[in-house]
Structure formats: structure tokens, C-alpha cells
Amino acid sequence: MWILLVEDEKQLANSLKRGLEEEGYVVEVQHDGEEAELQGLVNDYDIVILDWRLPNRDGKEILEHWRKEDRNFPVLMLTALGDLDHKVSGLDAGADDYMSKPFSFDELLARIRALSRRSADISNTEIVKIGPIEVDARRHNVTVGGISLTLRQKEFVLLELLMTHLGTVFSKTQIAERVWGSAYYVSDNTIEATISTLRQKLNDTFEDIDTYKLGKNDQIIETIRGAGYRFNIDLFKDHKDS
Amino acid sequence: MWILLVEDEKQLANSLKRGLEEEGYVVEVQHDGEEAELQGLVNDYDIVILDWRLPNRDGKEILEHWRKEDRNFPVLMLTALGDLDHKVSGLDAGADDYMSKPFSFDELLARIRALSRRSADISNTEIVKIGPIEVDARRHNVTVGGISLTLRQKEFVLLELLMTHLGTVFSKTQIAERVWGSAYYVSDNTIEATISTLRQKLNDTFEDIDTYKLGKNDQIIETIRGAGYRFNIDLFKDHKDS
DNA sequence: TTGTTTTAAGCTTAATTTAAGGTTCCCCAT
DNA sequence: ATGGGGAACCTTAAATTAAGCTTAAAACAA
């Protein structure tokens, strides 16, 4: 889950970012309204959290522009306490939900979950199931043929990314950005090592189940040399579960 | 797609180069402004990414010079965050888009795609189809009569180059530059060997399909002795697909 | 501490280039 | 015309280089 957080109070923004990251979300923070507007036009976030009062440009303008350009990720707007006017105008402009400051972090989480459930986008299903592999984004849990396996944060987010974008090849650069949050400072090897342990955990679990057997050369996560990685949907093509 | 990246921060430049190459672009990096200016005067890049603050010469001067000399490739300028003055002066000087640092790699990709779409040049369609041969630049994938064939990076870029410039004969020097990124260090034989394996893969796949049969002496990639290579459009002239 | 993440190093595999000998084509002298 | 001879090009296989994998150890964070 890729979230854009637009909030100019840096301290608040950072603590929210940290909290959300602990929950397994990948969070980009933008303090400046104008910049945020561009980012939203260009990136397909799963959710945007948008403060209504911003330097340079206000939340409403931004949101209207996005909606005019058919950017239809769910938007959760943040307003000052008691600011009912803004609430109404925001929902009119196309916001999907609102929250007034101050709010509890748990409430924020709950609303984010609700929004991602409601959203039409496939990538926001709470539970993704492909063949015997089941990813529960909410509980942060993966099972293969009913057996649960313990993945670490990065492994989990990486698997989730690949499984919610079937057919897409993600380059290392894109993976760095969407799993680690930034393309800089993440070495190739870090990603390779994570892929490696993730594959091992998946394979080990497949050995323990009876319902599906992997062939000798079957790779659940394919490597496309020079280009990136992709979830190998072909392995489960016939085997329609859901 | 041939891209010139002018950026003096070497670390950033290299990571962008790598990321773009993973996407199948051919990227030339130039750290020095003066050098970059010359290269832009001489080569027909598909897109130029130009940092605004450079040693020796600043982005604006370079761009103005190019535009005065009718170099009209799209230019995406990079500015420091919040540098609105530069943004305006850059767009005035003839930049087609701008992005402020730091930016996400996906955002860069999106903007490059947008620019190449916008550009008048025919060569920028995402999917090229000629007769039964289909090249999908985005997914990095070639099919002949529906059968997908696995090309290596160099083979792919070479085929793409020829198919997006129908009728044009490319000399070995030009191919070296636009497939390998630089004419130095690439021997003629390297190119010949690549052409050879590419032809074989194409021919093999044509054997497997029923919709189109190659004649005994038909060459999909023609050799023009002493001049270079060209995609043989005549083979598919009657056979109008699209 | 304890668990997670990153780095390091050697290894494996695939892509790319080089090398070497073979074709084909063209020019020129016969 | 015709048959060397050379240049340009083709084709394979071998050598080289690069990309990716794996494991353990180091660094970091809770």
C-alpha cells in the first residue's frame, strides 16, 4: 500500500509517517502543496491523505484538479477541529472521507482501512489470494495452503506489491521506491537478498503442503534479467482459487 | 528511446541511468554542462533531462542555445525544491516540463512517457505493430503472430530502433550510438553478431506461426552493403495489420 | 538482549563480446 | 567472360563480463 501524505506541519507528518510505516505502509511525505499536486497527477497512490490548509495552494484546489484529471485514488482529508464548512466543501470536491485534527492514530488507521476496502482498485483488497497463496494485508499475514509463514516487514511488502500487480515487472529501482520508500541508498544487493529469503520461505512452505506441488524449476517470483521481478501467475493459471 | 541525462551529481545520475536502462531506454550521461551542450547540438535525442544547476554553464543557457539552433527534442528540466523562479524561466526558455528534486523514480518515468507521447515524433508510440511483428516497448516484449519471443536487451533495443524508423538505413556507427549508448568501444563484429542472433530468433518464430510465411530469401532485417541495416517493410506491405 | 536489516564475499548463471573461419559480393586484371 | 583477391558481412563457439543468488557476518533497532 502506497500512501501519499500531504501535510505541512513537519513534526506531525514525520510521526504519522513513522507510525504508518510500522503498519507496513509505504509512505511518501510532501510538505508543499504545489509539489503534492504534481505528484498526485503522476503517481498511482493507493491512498492520499491531504491536509486542507497548505502553503502555496489549498487542499480543495488540489483535489479538484486531481479529480478533473481522473485521478481517482481515495482521498482522506484532514481539517482543523470544528471546521464544518471545509468538511462539506471537501466532500463535494471529491474527498472520500475526512478527519478533524487532532485525531488518534488508531482512528487514522481505521479510516485508511475503510478507504482501501471501499476503493474500486484491485490493489486495495484486504486479502489477496492466488492459488494456495493468501496475503492478508490487514493482519500482515501470509499463508500458503493454510500454513502461515512469518515474513519480515520488507519481505511482506515486497510480496504484497508483486501479488497486487500481477503481470507487472518491477525494476529494482521501482521496488526500492515502493518497498523501501526511496530509491536512493538502497543497494541492489539489499533487494536481491530480500528476494532470496522470501523465495526460500515460500518454497519451504510449499514443501509442507499437499494441495499444490511446485515443479523443480518453478519460480514463484520470476527474475527478468536486466529488467526486474514479477509474480509468476502462470504457475496458478489453471488452479483457479479465490 | 534515446535519452541524454545531464546531471552533475554522479550518484544520482548513475542511479537514474540504471533505473532507466532497466526500463529499456538507452541513456547517455553527461556531467559537464559544456560537453552536454555540444552533444545536444549534434545528436537527435528523443528526450533530454537537464539539471538546471551545473558546473561551467547553467541549464538555461544551454537550453536557449539549443532552441536557437532548432534543436527541438523535448527537454525535462530538474530544479531544486521550491525553486519557482527557475521553473518559470526554464519553461520560458523552452523546457517542456520540469520536476523538482527530490522526486520519485516512478514520477520521472511517468513524465518521460508523457513527453514522448506528446512529442510529434512518430518513433514514440508505445506499441509498434508491423505485419505479424509486435513490439511493446513498455512491457519490453516482442511477439510474432502472437508467439512471444525472448530477446536480450541489445537485441530488443536494436529491433525497436529499426521498427520505429521504417525506411531509414542505420549505419553501424549510428547503431552503436543508439543501442549501445556510445560509438566508442563497440566493434563492428559485436553489432554483426547481435544482428545475426536477432535474425535467427525472428526466423525461428516465423516458422512456428501459420498466419504468415517467409519466403526462402526474405530477410526481415536487410543488409545494405557498405551502408548499414534497415527493416524490410516491403515484406509486409500488402499484409496490412494494425 | 533479540530480532531485523544491510553488507560482504564467493558463487552461479546468463548476457555480451571476441575470435576465427566461412560467405558473398564487387572490382579488376586477364 | 572469368577467376583471383579483398572487403564487408555472417555465423558459431569460446572467452569474458555482468547480473543475480546465497550465506554468513556485521550493523542497527527495539
Task: Give the DSSP per-residue string, A156-205.
Answer: HHHHHHHHTSTTPPBPHHHHIIIIIS-STT--HHHHHHHHHHHHHHHHHH
Contact residues, chain B, for A227 at CB < 8 Å: 22-24, 140
Higher pLDDT, B239 or B17: B17
Region A144-173: mean pLDDT is 90
Give dist(CA A98, CA B41) in Å, integer: 52
DSSP 8-state class, residue A125: -
Q: What pLDDT is recorded for position A241?
A: 44
For an interface test with A, which of B10, B18, B22 has the most A Cβ atoms less than 10 Å from its Cβ?
B22
- What is the tens place of the pLDDT at every residue in A168-182? 889 999 899 888 877
Which grid coordinates are listed for B67? 532552441
Name the residue in chain B with its Cα closest to that of A56: B82
User: Is the pLDDT at A84 greater than 60, yes or no?
Assistant: no
Task: Please state which CATH number belongs to domain B2-123.
Answer: 3.40.50.2300
- What is the tens place of the pLDDT at every residue in A174-229? 899 888 877 778 899 999 999 999 999 999 999 888 888 888 888 999 999 989 99
Region B114-140: mean pLDDT is 73
Q: Which nucleotide lies nearest residue A190, CA to C1'?
A: C6
Higher pLDDT, B175 or A124: B175
Which residues make Cβ contacts (< 8 Å) with residue B39, sequence separation at least 6? B4, B28, B30
> What CATH topology corresponds to B127-236?
Arc Repressor Mutant, subunit A (1.10.10)
- What is the tens place of the pLDDT at every residue in A1-58? 889 999 988 878 888 888 888 777 888 888 888 889 888 888 888 899 999 888 778 8
Determine which of A75-84, A145-154, B200-209 has the lowest per-residue pLDDT on average.
Answer: A75-84
Q: Residue B242: pLDDT band by 50, 70, 90 thresholds?
A: very low
Q: Residue A138: pLDDT band by 50, 70, 90 thresholds?
A: low
Give the H or E element holding residue B160.
helix B153-163
User: Is the pLDDT at A238 greater than 70, yes or no?
Assistant: no
Which residues make Cβ contacts (< 8 Å) with residue A203, sequence separation at least 6? A214, A220
Cβ of A153 < 7 Å from strand D? no
pTM for the predicted model, two decimal places: 0.72
Which grid coordinates are listed for A225? 534479467
Nearest C-alpha of chain B: how many angstroms from A222? 14
What pairing do the DSSP bridges indicate for beta strands B26-30 and B2-6? parallel
Neighbours of A165 (CB within 10 A): 16
Nucleotides of C under 7 A from a protein CB: 4-9, 14-20, 25-26
Cβ <8 Å between B107 and A39: yes
Higher pLDDT, A124 or B96: B96
Higher pLDDT, A82 or B33: B33
Domain ranges in chain B with CATH number 1.10.10.10: 127-236
Q: What pLDDT is recorded for position A240?
A: 47
Q: Residue B83: pLDDT band by 50, 70, 90 thresholds?
A: low
Domain ranges in chain A with CATH number 3.40.50.2300: 2-123
Average pLDDT, chain A: 83
